[in-house]
Chain A
Amino acid sequence: MNSKHQHDENCGCGCHDDHHDHHNHSEHGHQPEPHHHTPPAIMVKTHDTSLVGSYRLTIETCFEDAVTILSEAQKKIAAEITSLGGIIGHIKANLTAAGQSCMISLTEDESDLHYHNSHRCQAEGVAIVFGIVPEQLTAILSTILGPYLNN
């Protein structure tokens, strides 16, 4: 999923909660048009008795190290939740690496290829838990994932 996305008034991205309704711009005297914005790095919502914390990360290292970092971070999150008396539902994330890149440069008829390996990984994850309050989950995610959160 793109970190910046287009959406309309039916979009479920949740970003609409924090700003005024940009989808009805007639009062501003201009036509409504799709817009782009970056969703927050951490979003915590409630659903019945569950708390759902979603997060987006960038880890500036190779894929193998990023797997270790993210895995350890998830264990820390779980330990913090449990220590507060909470119950882990599911903590999961999808990690992807940018991999190889190539800049292709052409002037007249000379084409130069500049290869490099990207050491940037992106992760999107969710922590679904019970028995703690939203502020606690937000604090846990912010503290443990802080260095890697997309801002």
Chain B
Amino acid sequence: MKVIILGGFLGSGKTSVLLQLSRYIVGDTPENSTKVVILENEIGEVSIDDSLLKNNGYAVTNLFSGCVCCTMSGELILNLRKIRDDFNPELVLMEATGVAFPDNIRTTINQSLPELEVYITCITDAKRWLRLLRPMEMLLEGQLAAADVILINKIDMVDSPTLTAVEASIRTFNNGAEFFKISAAQPINPIILKTVLNPEQEIQINE
């Protein structure tokens, strides 16, 4: 069972990417959902994103009212064990909260379930990056630091010089990840989705 953690700051587009990943995996038949389980973590007292996913036909396990990178780490392990025992899917797509440190989640999983492969894709918001950088630097850096894949999202909402500056800034935090520029409001290149799902295969793409 492989776990893909989708991390990134609030509003960066994690749920939009998750929807496209889900469609890519199961095609147009959500009944074919035995291969993948979606695990949602939301920090509020109400769950928003899982409603969107459920309305798109997917079964979703939701951990809300806390963050699995810290206060709810025990619940995360319990749920992953249950998912493995009940469904044994090939893949768990886990959307972290927008304030989570994905590497903390990976560490938690590795400590309790070392047999699982865990990869991190971090989604960043090109439009807000430069505005958020100074006040949110520690959080943004912590979210990006251990990512295997980084998606720079909302590139349709910034001009070329801004995008160049955003990418250069992001690369100061993590220059070792696979980088892709996307607009999750549009269909994402399937090769990019395949890379997110299989970061260990180091698929090359000409952007």
A and B found bound together: yes
Q: Mark A116-136, 1 if CB is under 8 A from B, else 0.
A: 000000001110101100000
Select from chain A the residue with minimum beta-carbon distance to B64: A12
Q: Does A93 interact with chain B (Cβ within 8 Å)? A: yes
**B200 contacts the other chain (CB 8 A):** no
Interface-forming stretch among A21-29, A49-57, A100-108?
A: A49-57
Interface window among A30-38, A66-74, A84-92, A137-145: A84-92
Contacts A47-B67, A89-B9 given: A125-B46 contact, CB under 8 Å? yes
**Are B46 and A47 interface neighbours, CB within 8 A?**
no
Segment at the A interface, from B16-24, B47-55, B169-177, B187-195 = B47-55
Q: Which of A43, A55, A94, A124 contacts B52 (CB 8 A)?
A: A94
Cβ contact within 8 Å between B135 and A54: no
Return chain B residues, CB-CB under 8 Å to A89: 9-11, 98-99
Q: Are B46's CB and A12's CB within 8 A?
A: no
List which B1-19 residues lie within 8 A (CB) of chain A: 9-11
Asked whether A147 is an interface residue with its Cβ less than 8 Å from the other chain, the reply is no
Contacts of A124 in B (CB 8 A): 46-48
Nearest B residue (CB) for A92: B48
- Chain B, range 60-77, C-beta contacts under 8 Å to A: 64-67, 70-72
B-side interface size class: 20 to 34
A14 pairs with B48, CB closer than 8 A = no
Q: How far is the CB of A133 from chain B (nearest CB, A)?
A: 16
Contact between A39 and B52 (Cβ–Cβ < 8 Å)? no
Q: Which residues of A contact B10 (CB under 8 A)?
A: 89-90, 128
Determine which of B42, B48, B135 lies in contact with A93 in the assembled complex, contact meaning CB atoms within 8 Å.
B48
B165 in contact (CB, < 8 A): no
A130 touches B136 (CB 8 A): yes
Asked whether, in the complex, the Cβ of A87 is within 8 Å of the Cβ of B51, the reply is no
Within the complex, the shortest CB–CB distance from B123 to chain A, in Å, comes to: 13
Q: How far, in whole Å, are A56 and B99 apart by their CA atoms in the complex?
A: 22
Which residues of B are found within 8 Å of A125, using beta-carbon distances? 46, 48
CB of B44 closer than 8 Å to a CB of A: yes
Show 27 A/B contacts (Cβ-Cβ < 8 Å), sorted by A: A1-B46, A13-B45, A13-B65, A14-B65, A47-B43, A47-B67, A48-B99, A52-B43, A52-B44, A52-B45, A87-B132, A89-B10, A90-B11, A90-B98, A92-B48, A93-B48, A94-B46, A94-B48, A96-B51, A124-B47, A126-B44, A126-B45, A126-B46, A128-B10, A128-B43, A128-B44, A130-B136
What residues make up the interface of B, taking CB atoms closer than 8 Å to A? 9-11, 42-48, 51-52, 64-67, 70-72, 98-99, 132, 135-136, 139
